[in-house]
Structure 1
Amino acid sequence: MVMRSVGFAALTALLLSGTASAQEKIKVGVTATLEGTYTVLGEDGMRGHVTALNVLGKKIGDKELEFVVASTDATPDSAVRAVRKLIEQDKVQILLSPLSGDEGIAVKNFAKTHPELTFVNAASGAQETTYVDPAPNFFRYNMDGAQWQVGLGKYAYETKGYRKIATVGEDYSFIYTQVFGLVLEFCGLGGKVTNRQWVPLGTKDFASVIAALPDDVDAIYLGLGGADAVNFLNQYQQAGGKAHLMGGSIMIDQTILSSKGSAKNALIGTIAASGQADTWEDPRWQKFVKAYQDAFPPEKRFPSPSLLATNYYGSTMALILALREVNGDLSNNQAKLKEALAKIEIDAPNGKIKLDSNRQAIGTNFVTEVVDDGKGALFSKVVKVIPDVNQTLGYEPATFAKIGLPSRTVPECKKY
């Protein structure tokens, strides 16, 4: 169980502690969803960021990093307001932002109005952010939502024997991208998606959604996160729901698996896919988990880092390593830093990450299943590890482009 996490003020104090006033500073603005439906995600994202600073430090040659944090609520307008404030009032030179999908598209577009600055995506995962008209000064070191679903459709079809599924997802770009990846793979093998329901972020009453779920499906895919996921699980359990469940990437990480109450136990046995897995035995992952655990008291963190913590860690890691490579040189509109960011390959906790020509991550994906550790704690267990997942999901670029952008109805359930 997680208490109300390290608060906004406390996180800011952690970031600013130990800054030597005599040294030249490099100012970095950071945004996270510290309010609204995705508050719990933003808080753990910031824990990942702080953990990276604990591990890597804030020194860049004879300079030191100084961080300014701004809060968003997962809406595009809030993200742009936060970023604009960081640039215009706080005079930051680099942005580590944002967390959520629609925010990412908005901040990418805003980045084009400040070509002199560098934007490193913190955690957002909508496909459109880097796939459509990418900003040359925007770099994303996490995979997008579709990449994070690679392997799930195949596992559901070939191993679990599922042939018909329904989906329930939050009605915005990141979940469109997640369902896009799932549908392409599952339907490409012959599976059917017979019902797709979309709910607004912040939905509290799922009664009509649950009532409309078809009975003749093998499983229900849940593309929900934060408070929405918890509300659905509570109401689904109360309604006596018994279907097999499949999970999107933010449905089955510790932001939900460590939530209060027993409703989360409905997730035991849920198959899912994500950019990480709690039980991965790789030494890089284990070292990161320990650093995360050591950084915060047990009541102020999750038992294991969420996907948001991992993404913020990796993004912070990439920025610090690239800055050190150029010795903090931000001259000529930060040209050397941008070049270093485009070329750098990071040995992240969840596997090696490099960028493609759109400055989008190519990385490792994990098919998982939710298990109980025997003590009442839930974790995502590794089922399969899939390396080198690119943004076109292994399709030829021309074929992938013809599929269309993720939406409520794209892709169609067919083999492309």
Structure 2
Amino acid sequence: MPSSRALLAVAVAVLATAATGCGSDEQVVRIGVLADCQGALRGFEDAQFAGAELPFLRRGADLVGTSPSGGVSSIEVDGRRVELVRGCQETGEHTVYIEEARRLLENEHVDVVVGGSSVVSRDLAHRYPRAVFVSTFWDEQEITLRRPAANLFRFSPDYAQREAGLGAYAYHQLGWRRAAIVAGDQTAGWGGAAAFTAEFCALGGKIVATAYRSPYTGTPDTVARALAARPDGVATFLNFLDDPARILSSLASRLGDARRLLVWSTNLEDAALLGTLGGKLDGVVGTTWLPASPASSVLRDYRRGWRAAFPGLPAPLADQSAVIGYYNSVEATLTALERVHSTDVGAGLSAELRRLRLDLPDGSVSLDRNRQAVRDGYLSRVVVAGGKPALEPVRVVHRVDQSFAGLLSSAPPPGPGTQPCRRALPPAWAR
């Protein structure tokens, strides 16, 4: 007769087999989302999670708590249960991203990592080739342009792409031939300056001065250095670390003509900066993340969905590029997953992401061979009526590719003065 211990072992084995069999047909796909829970962008945490969760809510999920940081319930996509797993990053602190991304991959066993921390996301994607990485931010070219990872995708334009059309506008519409640049001395400023230099100089313009402002060292006055070269106008690429309100106010006053100053999208999506400067930027043209023309049906639908799902969050947050990037990334992932019929979800998802062409709140997006967004850009003008600034459309810059038709791909990665000023065949949108 078998012993009681032997009978117990058999019973445990049977139960384990039964437990394995139950639900074995169900596939679970886990999407890890890294939002800015600390650091300079920590105020965007709830808004970024909201952007990532909205595609889930539209497919039947429910909010778990009273705020986006509480998460959402799972959904079913083509017979698979899909879960969203939350994580934290700190933009600019690469070690935080690495630790959290590894936690999601190794402990939470996510299949997809949504978020981004500069070129580190590309390097981590190389180390985890079976996972899918979707970068949310507009960071530097390096993420996708050089040594790209086959499993990393970005549906947001990079720093340089966001400035497409600005150099051509200066050359053709404003009549500039000698331009100065004032930019932040970091990746954002270098990328913006490289894009403007490539496009403006390809048409025959000349960069007579480039003044970089460092928030960490006592650099001389950038405004004086830029104006000392007597340019026709000044193009600016300043972020919140660069004291943009003071510099733009000084430039506007000393140039004395809105046609002699250009700004970029980082400044024009900052409502506080526009409110502070008031009429000083009246008539100034810059690039914008969203078109200033009447909203498309996709953008209107996105805004309605945001207001309905997250009434406790300020509605203008939905339009911020640091938020829309999360919506776009998760919407693209779920759309691609709906088209995956292979049992190998990772390979199938990568294949479908490569083929996607989506109408997103900021426009129609497809991916190039490096899996980087190709998207329209927008030029807008500041108009002030009754003391209140608003934006009006100037131009749509169609189908901007990351390399600027090759002007940037052969150059070294953007840095202080790395982009040569030389005449060349300009991109189609600049001719």
| TM-score interval, normalised by the smaller of the two chains | 0.7 to 0.9
Partner deviation per Cα, 1:337-388 (whole Å, 9 max, x = no partner): 111111121111222211111111112111222233x465544432111222
Residue identity matched to 1:190: G
How far, CA to CA, are the matches of 1:144 and 1:86 in structure 2?
25
Change (3 A) 1:250 1:192: same
Is 1:405 aligned to 2:405, yes or no? no
Aligned ranges 1:163-202 → 2 under 5 Å = 163-200=177-214
Aligned ranges 1:30-41 → 2 under 5 Å = 30-39=33-42
The equivalent residue for 2:108 is: 90
The equivalent residue for 2:402 is: 391
SS at match of 2:267: coil
Paired residues of 2:278 and 2:388 also in contact (CA < 8 A): no
Residue identity matched to 1:163: R
The equivalent residue for 1:72 is: 90
Q: What 5-or-longer segments of structure 1 have no aligned partner?
A: 1-22
Change (3 A) 1:258 1:299: farther
How far, CA to CA, are the matches of 1:279 and 1:212 in structure 2?
36
The equivalent residue for 1:250 is: 266
The equivalent residue for 1:3 is: none
Residue identity matched to 2:423: K
How far, CA to CA, are the matches of 2:412 and 2:209 in structure 1?
20
Paired residues of 1:258 and 1:302 also in contact (CA < 8 A): no
Residue identity matched to 2:370: N
Residue identity matched to 1:411: Q
How far, CA to CA, are the matches of 1:240 and 1:385 in structure 2?
25
Query: Which of these two proteins has the greater Rg computed from alpha carbons?
Result: 2
Greater shift in the superposed pair: 43-52 or 129-138: 43-52
State percent identity of aligned pairs. Answer: 22
Aligned length: 379
Is 1:27 aligned to 2:7, yes or no? no
Change (3 A) 1:81 1:378: farther
Change (3 A) 1:383 1:136: same
Q: What 5-or-longer segments of structure 2 have no aligned partner?
A: 1-25, 62-74, 425-431
Aligned ranges 1:96-245 → 2 under 5 Å = 96-98=114-116, 103-200=117-214, 208-215=221-228, 216-225=230-239, 227-228=240-241, 231-234=243-246, 237=249, 241-243=253-255, 244-245=260-261
Greater shift in the superposed pair: 58-67 or 347-356: 58-67
How far, CA to CA, are the matches of 1:376 and 1:317 in structure 2?
38
How far, CA to CA, are the matches of 2:338 and 2:167 in structure 1?
40
Deviation of the 1:148 alpha carbon: 1.8
Q: Which has the higher contact order (CA 8 A, sep 6+)?
A: 1
Deviation of the 1:280 alpha carbon: 4.0
How far, CA to CA, are the matches of 2:278 and 2:217 in structure 1?
16
How far, CA to CA, are the matches of 1:376 and 1:319 in structure 2?
42
Partner deviation per Cα, 1:218-241 (whole Å, 9 max, x = no partner): 33322222x325x33146537984
Alignment RMSD (CA, Å)? 3.1
How far, CA to CA, are the matches of 1:124 and 1:376 in structure 2?
31
How far, CA to CA, are the matches of 2:252 and 2:266 in structure 1?
23
Deviation of the 1:45 alpha carbon: 4.2
The equivalent residue for 1:14 is: none
The equivalent residue for 2:393 is: 382
How far, CA to CA, are the matches of 1:297 and 1:220 in structure 2?
41
Aligned ranges 1:283-294 → 2 under 5 Å = 283-294=297-308
The equivalent residue for 1:8 is: none
How far, CA to CA, are the matches of 2:408 and 2:261 in structure 1?
28
SS at match of 1:381: strand
Partner deviation per Cα, 1:104-144 (whole Å, 9 max, x = no partner): 31110111100111101112331121110100110111222
Aligned ranges 1:237-386 → 2 under 5 Å = 237=249, 241-243=253-255, 244-253=260-269, 256-259=270-273, 262-263=276-277, 265-297=279-311, 300-302=314-316, 305-326=319-340, 332=344, 334-372=346-384, 374=385, 377-386=388-397
How far, CA to CA, are the matches of 2:111 and 2:329 in structure 1?
16
